[in-house]
């Protein structure tokens, strides 16, 4: 009995030792798996859209089981963004999510990441060239066309419209301009478009609006390519010029915007902003993180419809997940599914 007991004790000890070694091995492996680091490069973080998108994206990254590194802020400087991305890779980023400052200037940055074996997912804005794991954005030409349809119908197909353009060095700025202008030429040829560049800068947008509003007494509408950086200034300009009226009131200047920020939703409900084409910011965050994790896992995708009401389309050597953008008016401005009504909750 004593001998059997000793044998049994040795077996228990051996089993415990093996189990302990196995647990130690698992413990040593798990941290390595959890150490997959994602670097987020923002073009700037000075407006609500970019700030909220950065926060939501990093939250989605963590939910996906990746370690989110502190986001970098290029402050609108393409050269700084290049440095930011290189620093993220040097600091151990295994995958990147980038929102480009400049669609052309981001190309060599993507080439550098590819050389280092670090896949990059681009959100919101597409690159002019360069290899990506996926591009996640909305159809911005379609966004411009939707704004055009709303403006053209509201002003009866004729009159003067101020178009406050985004940065034409970005695909979004160019596409929102092209989509709006092409639609006007085709469907509302009597509309006169007054274009003013803003480079996504609030002060430039406000200054341009001030000049045009005060010198164009017969202005019928204003198209803002980003309510995130333009709407507050435009409303202040109209108020100062004694031209701020609510939707439906006499001499109302029709206002259309892009983005769909919380402030824009509030102004639609209050009756000052007529329509916003809301970008799917929450989906940029969700699927930016999804494709980043998929890239680390070596997954690939094909062109065609997705399971989330979008379509993946080929763009040069890349694939782009085109996400839907919603037209928001007073009727649906309180829709809880809109990202502008989710922010901060």
- For 132-155, what is each residue's pLDDT tens digit? 999 999 999 999 999 999 999 999
b/e map of 136-174 (b: 16 or more CB within 10 Å)? bbbbbbbbbbbbbbbbbebbeeebbbbbbbbbbbbbbbb
Confidence category of residue 344, pLDDT binned at 50, 70, 90: low
Residues 6+ apart with CB under 8 A from 104: 127, 128, 129, 169
Confidence category of residue 129, pLDDT binned at 50, 70, 90: very high
Three-class SS of residue 69? coil
Instruction: List Cα–Cα distances, 198 to 146, 153, 207, in angstroms.
Output: 21, 26, 9
pLDDT tens, residue by residue, 155-167: 999 999 999 999 9
Confidence category of residue 342, pLDDT binned at 50, 70, 90: confident
Predicted TM-score (pTM) above 0.85: no
Q: Which domains does the chain have, with CATH numbers?
A: 35-132+281-323 (3.40.50.2300), 140-278 (3.40.50.2300)
pLDDT score for 48: 86
- C-beta separation of 84 from 76 below 8 A: no
DSSP secondary structure letters along 190-257:
EEEEEEEE-TT-HHHHHHHHHHHHHH-TTEEEEEES-HHHHHHHHHHHHHHTT----TTSTTPPEEEE
**Average pLDDT, whole number, for the chain?**
90
Place of tokens 């994206």: 57
């Amino acid at each position: 009995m004593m001998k059997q007991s000793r044998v049994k004790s040795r077996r228990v000890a051996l089993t415990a030792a093996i189990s302990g070694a196995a647990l130690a091995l698992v413990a040593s492996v798990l941290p390595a798996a959890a150490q997959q680091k994602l670097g987020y490069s923002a073009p700037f973080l000075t407006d609500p859209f970019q700030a909220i998108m950065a926060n939501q994206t990093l939250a989605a990254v963590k939910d996906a089981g990746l370690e989110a590194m502190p986001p970098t802020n290029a402050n609108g400087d393409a050269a700084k963004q290049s440095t930011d991305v290189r620093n993220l890779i040097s600091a151990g980023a295994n995958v990147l999510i980038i929102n480009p400052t400049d669609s052309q200037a981001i190309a060599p940055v993507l080439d550098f990441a590819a050389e280092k074996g670090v896949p990059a997912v681009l959100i919101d804005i597409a690159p002019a060239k360069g290899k990506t794991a996926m591009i996640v954005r909305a159809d911005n030409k379609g966004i411009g066309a939707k704004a055009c349809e709303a403006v053209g119908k509201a002003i009866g197909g004729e009159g003067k419209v101020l178009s406050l353009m985004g940065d034409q060095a970005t695909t979004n700025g160019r596409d929102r301009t092209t989509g709006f202008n092409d639609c006007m030429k085709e469907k509302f040829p009597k509309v006169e478009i007054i274009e003013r560049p803003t480079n996504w800068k609030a002060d430039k947008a406000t200054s341009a609006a001030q000049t045009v509003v005060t010198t164009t007494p017969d202005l019928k509408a204003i198209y803002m390519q980003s309510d995130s950086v333009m709407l507050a200034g435009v409303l202040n300009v109209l108020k100062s010029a004694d031209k701020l009226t609510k939707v439906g009131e006499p001499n109302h200047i029709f206002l259309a915007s892009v983005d769909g920020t919380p402030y824009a939703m509030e102004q639609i409900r209050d009756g000052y902003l007529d329509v916003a084409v809301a970008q799917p910011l929450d989906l940029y965050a969700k699927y930016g993180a999804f494709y980043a994790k998929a890239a680390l896992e070596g997954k690939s995708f094909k062109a065609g419809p997705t399971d989330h009401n979008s379509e993946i389309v080929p763009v040069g050597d890349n694939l782009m997940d085109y996400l839907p953008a919603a037209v928001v008016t007073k009727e649906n401005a309180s829709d809880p599914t809109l990202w502008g009504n989710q922010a901060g909750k």
